[in-house]
Structure 1
Amino acid sequence: MEHPPTIQIANDTDLGILVDILSDSFSTDPMFNWVFPQTELYPHFFHLLVKKVYLPHGIVHMDERDRAAALWLPPAERLEVAPRLGLLRFGIRLVGKTGGLRALSRLYRQGRVFEKHYPREPHYYLQFIGCRSADQGQGIGAALLKDGLAICDNRGMPAYLECSNHRNVPLYQRHGFQIKAQQVVGKNGPMAWFMWRDPR
C-alpha cells in the first residue's frame, strides 16, 4: 500500500519542476484553454508567475515526488501585476502565437471578472493548485490543500480561491470552501466559481 503524499516547501531550485507540473496540470483547464488556446504558452506564463511572484513572496507547496504543486499568497501580499517587462514579453509572445489580440482581450476580461469578486478582507489566496494529468485522482491535491489550510487555521485566517473547473468544486467544498459567487467569463466563455473558507 502506497504511503500518503508527503508535502514539502518548494524553493528556487524547484522552479523548472514547478513550471512543468503546473503547465501539465492546467493543459485541459477550461479557463486557461479559453484565454490561451496554445498550451505551449503555459510554461512561459508559469515561469514568470512562479519566479517573480510566488517563490519570493508566497508559499509554494509540492509533493516530494514532483507530481503536484500549490501556490498561495499570504494576507500581507496582495497579488500585483508581475514586472512589466516580463509581462510585455509574454504579451508579445501571446500575440505572436495567436496571430491577433483576441487572447489579450480575453485575458483582460477574465482579469476584470476575477477582480470584481476578489475579497478585500485579509485572507490566504490559493491562486493555483494542480496535479499532473497522469497522477490525478490519487489524493495528492487533497494532501496539498490540507497542508495549506493548516497554515490558515493555525493563524486564524480565511482562505479564498477561484475555481474554473466544475470537477474540482466538490473537492474544495469537502475542505470547507463555500461558493460565494459564480459567473461566466466573456461571451460564451467558461464558468468561474469564487470560493471562501472561514478558519477552523
Structure 2
Amino acid sequence: MTGVIRDLRPSNKAAFVAVMAEAFAHDPLFVAAFGDDDGSPGNRKEIEVFLSFLLDMTRIIGGMQRGLFVDGKLAGCSLVEPPAGNHVAQACRTLASVLRFLPVAIRLPWRTTVLLNGYMKATRAAAPHLPHHYLALVGVLPERQGQGLGRRLVEDAFEQSKWHKRSKGLALDTENAGNATLYRRWGFEMRETVDIGGVTAYCMFRPSGERS
C-alpha cells in the first residue's frame, strides 16, 4: 500500500471533516471537549464545526492542508501552520483567527470553547521561541491505522519545515502517550507536558536537519 499525499482541494472539505471526526472520536482532548462520540447528532455536529474551523483557519493563515489518498479515497489528513511572521503579520494572523472563531464559539458549549482556547494557548506557549512549522492536526481513519500512513503525513510536514528558509523545525502536540513514544522514535524531542482541564498534552519538537 502506498497512497498519494497531495494538497486538499475545496471539494475535499466534507471528506476531511468526516475522516478526522472518525480519527479523533476517542482522542482525549476531543472526549474532554465534546464528550465521547456516541453517534448523537449534537455531539457529532460540534466536532464537525470545530474541524471545519481548523481547516478554514489553516487556509487563511497560509498553511498546508494535506491529504493521503489510498485507492482514490481520503484515508488521512494533516494541517500544518507556517512559521510566524513579523509582529504586524502575526497581529493580523491573530486577528483573523479571533474573527473566524467567533461564529464557531457561538455554536459550541461555553465549557468547550474555554477548554479548546486554554489548550491552544498552553501548547503554543510550550513551543520553541524561534520560527517553526506547527503540525496542528494529523489523523488517519481507524481502519487504516497501523499501516504507516500517519508517519508518512508527519514526514511530509517535516519535509516542508526542513526546506523552508526560515523554519527551524516542526512542533506538534499529542494527548496520547503512545503517540509520544512513536514521535520520539521519529526524531522528536519532548519539550514540555502541560495539563489542561484534566487532559495531558505532550509538546514535542523536531529540529530541521534531522533525518529519519
Q: Which runs of 4+ in 1 moved over 6 A?
A: none
Q: Percent identity?
A: 25
Is contact 2:194–2:202 with CA below 8 Å preserved after alignment? yes
Cα 1:140–1:105 shift into 2, 3 Å: same
Structure 2 regions of 5+ residues with no counterpart?
36-42
Cα 1:110–1:6 shift into 2, 3 Å: same
Give the Cα–Cα distance (whole angstroms) in 2 for the partners of residues 182 and 56 of structure 1: 27
SS at match of 2:181: helix
Other-structure match for 1:133: 142
Give the Cα–Cα distance (whole angstroms) in 1 for the partners of residues 96 and 51 of structure 2: 11
| Larger CA deviation: 108-117 vs 60-69 | 108-117
SS at match of 1:80: helix
- Deviation digits for residues 48-92 of structure 1 (CA, Å, limit 9, x no counterpart): 221243376111211123000011112146563655564233222
Equivalent residue pairs, number: 191
**TM-score, normalised via structure 1 length:** 0.84
Give the Cα–Cα distance (whole angstroms) in 1 for the partners of residues 163 and 150 of structure 2: 20
Is contact 2:123–2:194 with CA below 8 Å preserved after alignment? no
The answer to whether 1:162 aligns with 2:173 is yes
**TM-score, normalised via structure 2 length:** 0.80
The answer to whether 1:69 aligns with 2:80 is no
Other-structure match for 1:42: 47
The answer to whether 1:87 aligns with 2:95 is no
Cα 1:82–1:31 shift into 2, 3 Å: farther
Cα 1:105–1:197 shift into 2, 3 Å: same
Cα 1:53–1:69 shift into 2, 3 Å: same
| Larger CA deviation: 151-160 vs 81-90 | 81-90
Is contact 2:19–2:76 with CA below 8 Å preserved after alignment? yes
**How big is the shift at 1:26?**
1.0
**How big is the shift at 1:182?**
0.5
Is contact 1:74–1:124 with CA below 8 Å preserved after alignment? yes
Give the Cα–Cα distance (whole angstroms) in 1 for the partners of residues 99 and 82 of structure 2: 25
Equivalent AA in structure 2 for residue 171 of structure 1: L
- Deviation digits for residues 91-124 of structure 1 (CA, Å, limit 9, x no counterpart): 22212xxxxx332332343234224313321001
Give the Cα–Cα distance (whole angstroms) in 2 for the partners of residues 46 and 72 of structure 1: 14
Aligned-CA RMSD value: 2.2
| Larger CA deviation: 103-112 vs 163-172 | 103-112
Is contact 2:83–2:134 with CA below 8 Å preserved after alignment? yes
Other-structure match for 2:190: 179
